[in-house]
Structures are given as C-alpha cells and as structure tokens.
Structure 1
Amino acid sequence: MKSTAQRKAELEARRAVLNDRIAGIGKELDSHESKDWEEMAVEREADEVLEDLGQSAKNELRMIEAALQRIEEGEYGYCTTCGDQISEERLDLLPATPFCPNCAPGR
C-alpha cells in the first residue's frame, strides 16, 4: 500500500515529465520554417499530431494538479462525487482519478 507522500511524489514526477513534453512540443511547433508547399503540408500534418499530443498532456496535467490539490486538502483517495474511498488498485492504475469506479464517467 502506497502512502500519500509516495503518491504525491509520483504525481509530481509525472507533472515534470508532462511539462517537459509540452515545452518540447511548443519548441517543435515554433521551429518550422519550410517554404515549399509540399513540405509545409507535411509539416502541418505533423503539427496537428503534435497539437493533439500537447492537448492530451495538458488534460493529464490538469488532472494531476487537481489530484495534488486534493492531497493538500486531505481529500485524495476519496471519490469527489460520492465520497467513497477509491481502491488502491484503481489509484495504482489512475493515480490522478477523482472518481471511484461507480462514479467514473463512461463506465
């Protein structure tokens, strides 16, 4: 069973990875300077993929920030909808989840 401090450290480490990824994506998107139409089309397709990855990272980052806030408030590990305790197994798989399996959207 992981302690809250261990979970917090894992969430903070993941947050650092995501921040680095987002910064790298931003640099990559800013670096394109192709003048050729064909190259610009290929770059635009790649940019769309990068933007999707960046958006996904930002969404995960928001979830991590919310989980860290719940840790600070002493509410981490409890469902934000019904208040039931979230199982260790679920937190191992989804450490930033605010929901128990019964309240999770799209279950």
Structure 2
Amino acid sequence: MTDIKLRARLEALASEYSNRADAIERDLSREHAQSFSEQATERQNDMVLQGLLADARASNKEVQQALVRLDEGTYGECEKCGEPISAARLEALPAASFCINCAD
C-alpha cells in the first residue's frame, strides 16, 4: 500500500474515532430523567458510554501515533524488536506498533 493510501486510511480511522467520541460525549451530556428508577438505568448506561469513550480516545491516540511513525519513516516496524510488522497484521490493525511476537 502506498504512503498516500495508508495515510488516507489512517486519517479516515482517526476521523471515525473522533466522530464516535464526539457522539458519545453528546450522549453523556444529556439531562437525566426525574424518576429514580430511570436515573439508575441511565447512570448504568453512562458507565458503559464512558468505557466506550475511553476506547474511542485510546484508539484515536494509537492512530495519531501511527501517523507520526508514517511521517518518521518507521511505520510498519515493531517498536520493541525493530522487525517488520506483517502486512496481514497491519491490514487488520493499521495502528499496530508491535509485531505479533512482541504483542504477546
């Protein structure tokens, strides 16, 4: 995959994670119901949303770091052992920073 296509793919992922985080933040900022039972359910839902928000932010950060590695010319190299990360792994996880052996 060319650097241009790879950059476009990574930027699309970053945009997707950012949009997801924005939508979750909007959901979390809504007002809660007046009844106690409904509030309890909404608070449980908020805990799930907070977890999803943390995941979206972490994934976006990983993609941003992958873009930095792409700019530096180190994208696709394992950050631990320096060996190439397999194309199949990068296809499945474009922001992967470790080869499969080091990720274990």
Q: Under a length normalisation based on structure 1, what TM-score does the superposition of the two structures give?
A: 0.92
Provide the rounded CA distance (Å) in 2 between the counterparts of 1:28 and 1:101: 36
Matched residue, 1:50:
49
Gaps of 5+ in 2: none
Aligned residues: CA RMSD: 0.9
Runs of 4+ in 1 over 4 A off after TM superposition: none
Letter aligned with residue 26 of structure 2: K
Number of positions where the alignment pairs a residue of Structure 1 with one of Structure 2: 104
Rounded to whole Å, the distance in 1 between the matches of 2:30 and 2:83 is: 48
CA positional deviation for 1:4: 2.2
**1:59 — aligned with what?**
58
Larger helix proportion of the pair: 2
Rounded to whole Å, the distance in 1 between the matches of 2:93 and 2:2 is 15
Residue aligned with 2:100, SS: coil
**Structure 1 unaligned blocks of 5 or more:** none
2:77 aligns with 78
TM-score (norm 2): 0.95
Distance 1:103 1:71 in 2: 20
